[in-house]
Amino acid sequence: MLENVTINDIEVNVQAADWEDAIRKSAQPLLERDKIEERYVDAMIDAVHRVGPYIVLGNHVALAHARPECGAKELSVFFTTLNPGIAFGNENFDPVTLIITLAAIDEDSHLELMGELAGILMDEKNVMRLVESKTSEEFLTLLQKMRDED
Protein backbone atom coordinates (compact mmCIF):
# COMPACT_ATOMS: atom_id res chain seq x y z
CA MET A 1 0.00 0.00 0.00
CA LEU A 2 2.94 2.36 0.52
CA GLU A 3 3.30 2.52 -3.26
CA ASN A 4 -0.01 4.43 -3.30
CA VAL A 5 1.17 7.16 -0.90
CA THR A 6 1.51 10.57 -2.55
CA ILE A 7 2.73 13.97 -1.35
CA ASN A 8 -0.93 14.71 -0.56
CA ASP A 9 -0.69 12.05 2.18
CA ILE A 10 2.15 13.80 3.99
CA GLU A 11 2.52 17.00 5.98
CA VAL A 12 5.82 17.99 7.56
CA ASN A 13 6.80 20.27 10.44
CA VAL A 14 3.34 20.59 11.97
CA GLN A 15 3.09 22.42 15.27
CA ALA A 16 0.60 21.19 17.84
CA ALA A 17 -0.36 22.37 21.32
CA ASP A 18 -0.60 18.85 22.78
CA TRP A 19 -1.15 15.23 21.77
CA GLU A 20 -4.90 15.71 21.20
CA ASP A 21 -4.23 18.66 18.91
CA ALA A 22 -1.56 16.61 17.12
CA ILE A 23 -4.05 13.79 16.44
CA ARG A 24 -6.69 16.24 15.25
CA LYS A 25 -4.25 17.95 12.89
CA SER A 26 -2.97 14.65 11.54
CA ALA A 27 -6.53 13.46 10.89
CA GLN A 28 -7.80 16.68 9.30
CA PRO A 29 -6.73 15.82 5.73
CA LEU A 30 -8.56 12.48 5.97
CA LEU A 31 -11.67 14.29 7.19
CA GLU A 32 -11.45 16.81 4.35
CA ARG A 33 -11.18 14.00 1.80
CA ASP A 34 -14.14 12.16 3.36
CA LYS A 35 -12.01 9.11 4.25
CA ILE A 36 -13.15 9.27 7.90
CA GLU A 37 -15.95 10.82 9.92
CA GLU A 38 -15.47 13.29 12.77
CA ARG A 39 -16.44 10.57 15.24
CA TYR A 40 -13.39 8.58 14.10
CA VAL A 41 -11.13 11.40 15.30
CA ASP A 42 -12.99 11.50 18.61
CA ALA A 43 -12.64 7.72 18.95
CA MET A 44 -8.87 7.91 18.42
CA ILE A 45 -8.56 10.49 21.19
CA ASP A 46 -11.00 8.73 23.52
CA ALA A 47 -9.04 5.48 23.22
CA VAL A 48 -5.84 7.16 24.42
CA HIS A 49 -7.74 8.70 27.33
CA ARG A 50 -9.13 5.26 28.27
CA VAL A 51 -6.13 3.02 27.65
CA GLY A 52 -3.14 5.36 27.77
CA PRO A 53 -0.55 6.11 25.09
CA TYR A 54 -0.69 2.63 23.54
CA ILE A 55 -0.57 4.23 20.08
CA VAL A 56 3.08 5.20 20.65
CA LEU A 57 4.87 2.34 18.95
CA GLY A 58 8.44 3.29 19.74
CA ASN A 59 11.13 5.34 18.05
CA HIS A 60 9.02 8.49 18.64
CA VAL A 61 6.25 7.22 16.35
CA ALA A 62 2.52 7.15 17.07
CA LEU A 63 -0.03 5.18 15.08
CA ALA A 64 -3.30 7.06 15.49
CA HIS A 65 -6.25 4.79 14.72
CA ALA A 66 -9.65 3.63 15.89
CA ARG A 67 -11.97 0.71 15.23
CA PRO A 68 -13.35 0.57 11.67
CA GLU A 69 -16.93 0.94 12.90
CA CYS A 70 -16.04 4.25 14.55
CA GLY A 71 -16.27 6.09 11.23
CA ALA A 72 -13.61 4.82 8.83
CA LYS A 73 -14.96 5.14 5.29
CA GLU A 74 -11.96 4.13 3.17
CA LEU A 75 -8.62 2.48 3.82
CA SER A 76 -6.21 5.39 4.07
CA VAL A 77 -3.06 6.61 5.75
CA PHE A 78 -1.61 10.05 6.45
CA PHE A 79 1.89 10.90 7.70
CA THR A 80 2.51 13.96 9.88
CA THR A 81 5.86 15.08 11.24
CA LEU A 82 5.73 17.23 14.37
CA ASN A 83 8.14 20.06 15.07
CA PRO A 84 8.66 20.29 17.93
CA GLY A 85 7.81 16.78 19.08
CA ILE A 86 4.87 16.28 21.44
CA ALA A 87 4.66 14.29 24.67
CA PHE A 88 1.99 11.58 24.50
CA GLY A 89 2.69 10.26 28.00
CA ASN A 90 4.98 7.38 27.06
CA GLU A 91 8.17 8.09 28.95
CA ASN A 92 10.19 5.59 26.91
CA PHE A 93 9.38 7.03 23.49
CA ASP A 94 8.34 10.67 23.98
CA PRO A 95 8.42 13.04 22.32
CA VAL A 96 6.46 11.81 19.32
CA THR A 97 7.77 13.35 16.12
CA LEU A 98 5.87 11.24 13.57
CA ILE A 99 2.17 10.42 13.60
CA ILE A 100 0.83 7.89 11.16
CA THR A 101 -2.93 8.26 11.00
CA LEU A 102 -4.57 5.06 9.82
CA ALA A 103 -8.17 4.49 8.80
CA ALA A 104 -8.88 0.79 8.39
CA ILE A 105 -12.28 -0.31 7.12
CA ASP A 106 -12.05 -3.90 8.38
CA GLU A 107 -9.82 -6.22 10.37
CA ASP A 108 -7.49 -7.22 7.51
CA SER A 109 -7.16 -4.61 4.76
CA HIS A 110 -4.43 -2.64 6.55
CA LEU A 111 -2.17 -5.59 7.42
CA GLU A 112 0.01 -5.28 4.31
CA LEU A 113 0.57 -1.60 5.11
CA MET A 114 1.47 -2.41 8.71
CA GLY A 115 4.00 -4.98 7.55
CA GLU A 116 5.61 -2.50 5.18
CA LEU A 117 5.74 0.18 7.87
CA ALA A 118 7.15 -2.18 10.50
CA GLY A 119 10.14 -2.97 8.34
CA ILE A 120 10.89 0.72 7.88
CA LEU A 121 10.09 2.05 11.35
CA MET A 122 11.99 -0.59 13.30
CA ASP A 123 15.15 1.30 12.38
CA GLU A 124 15.33 4.52 14.38
CA LYS A 125 17.66 6.01 11.76
CA ASN A 126 14.86 5.69 9.20
CA VAL A 127 12.45 7.48 11.53
CA MET A 128 14.92 10.30 12.13
CA ARG A 129 15.56 10.71 8.39
CA LEU A 130 11.82 10.90 7.69
CA VAL A 131 11.19 13.38 10.52
CA GLU A 132 14.05 15.59 9.34
CA SER A 133 12.46 15.92 5.89
CA LYS A 134 12.00 19.57 4.94
CA THR A 135 9.20 18.93 2.45
CA SER A 136 6.48 16.38 1.76
CA GLU A 137 8.29 15.53 -1.47
CA GLU A 138 11.51 14.73 0.41
CA PHE A 139 9.57 12.60 2.92
CA LEU A 140 7.88 10.67 0.11
CA THR A 141 11.14 10.07 -1.75
CA LEU A 142 12.76 8.71 1.43
CA LEU A 143 9.73 6.57 2.28
CA GLN A 144 9.71 5.01 -1.19
CA LYS A 145 13.45 4.35 -1.06
CA MET A 146 13.14 2.74 2.37
CA ARG A 147 10.23 0.60 1.15
CA ASP A 148 12.24 -0.57 -1.83
CA GLU A 149 15.25 -1.40 0.34
CA ASP A 150 13.24 -3.30 2.95
- Expressed as residue numbers, the domain containing 127 is 2-149
Active site residue 65: yes
Q: What is the pTM of this model?
A: 0.94
pLDDT surpassing 90 at residue 3? no
Predicted local distance difference test score (pLDDT) of residue 109: 73
Taking the C-alpha atoms of residue 71 and residue 93, their distance in angstroms, rounded to an integer, is 28
Residues 89-139: pLDDT tens digits?
998 999 999 999 999 888 777 777 788 888 899 899 999 999 999 999 999
- Catalytic entry in 49, 60, 65, 110: 65
Handedness of CA 100, 72, 118, 45 (dihedral sign): positive
Q: What is the CATH number of the domain that holds 140?
A: 3.40.930.10
Handedness of CA 111, 145, 132, 7 (dihedral sign): negative
Total domains, the chain: 1
